[in-house]
Amino acid sequence: MSSKSTMPASLQGGFQVAWKIWHWFYVQRVLYENAIMGILLGLFLTTIILLMSIQNIITSLLASFTISMVTICVIGVIPLIGWKLGVLVSLNMCLVVGLSVDYVVHLAEGYTMSKHKDRKSRVRDALEDMATSVYSGACTTLGASVFMLFSQIIFFFQFGIFMFFTIGFSILFSLGLFITLLGTIGPENDTGDIKALYRKLHHFVKNRSTHCV
């Protein structure tokens, strides 16, 4: 109203014709919010599931960090290839976390299940047990996504692009960043192990109860 009062008298009776532009602005905001919420919720659930399956806090956090880096890189590809946020892009963004978790989980499991106690030996065991299957699985998925790039249907074409970059970044960060993090700051002995922490806490509480009595 304040800007309208400063306009010439001949223009103060004007009105805006926007057709469906404002509706599209609202749709864009909803798509943006849903994409962000889907990614954050996916990362949160991934961390919880990793904690339940791997049962090591440090390894789970390192795996979640790696998955976050994969997600950021895939999202960064969207403006580079000239895409705008739409229904299909928003939907595919929510699927990135689920597609990128597979290889990290296998390597984390190989590291956790190793019988050695030091991190370097555990990394070696994880690579010996899981690297070949992880790499082979990534190659087959990348090969499948290549065929989708020739599709005339926009959804399959965009999904193929997302899958190709997601799997590519996932295998790169899994065998690169994640393994490097495990070999540098990965847990040794029982560090970060949930069961070991529970036993220590139980022993501490039991001793305190005994002293109090």
Is residue 213 scored above 60 in pLDDT? no
Q: Which residue has the tokens 């991190």?
A: 119
Give the domain extent around 179.
21-189
How many angstroms separate the CA atoms of 69 and 67, rounded?
Answer: 5
Number of domains present in the structure of the chain: 1
Is residue 22 scored above 80 in pLDDT? no
- Asked if residue 61 lies in contact with residue 43, where contact means CB atoms within 8 angstroms, the answer is no
* Higher pLDDT among residues 17 and 47, named by residue: 47
For the segment 92-120, what is each residue's pLDDT rounded down to a tens digit?
A: 888 888 888 889 999 998 998 888 888 89
Does this model's pTM top 0.85? My answer is no
In a domain, 3, yes or no: no
pLDDT, the chain, mean:
84
For residue 73, the domain's CATH number is 1.20.1640.10
8-state DSSP, 56: B
3-state SS assignment for residue 191? coil
pLDDT of residue 122: 92
For the segment 156-192, what is each residue's pLDDT rounded down to a tens digit?
A: 888 899 899 999 999 999 999 999 999 999 888 888 7
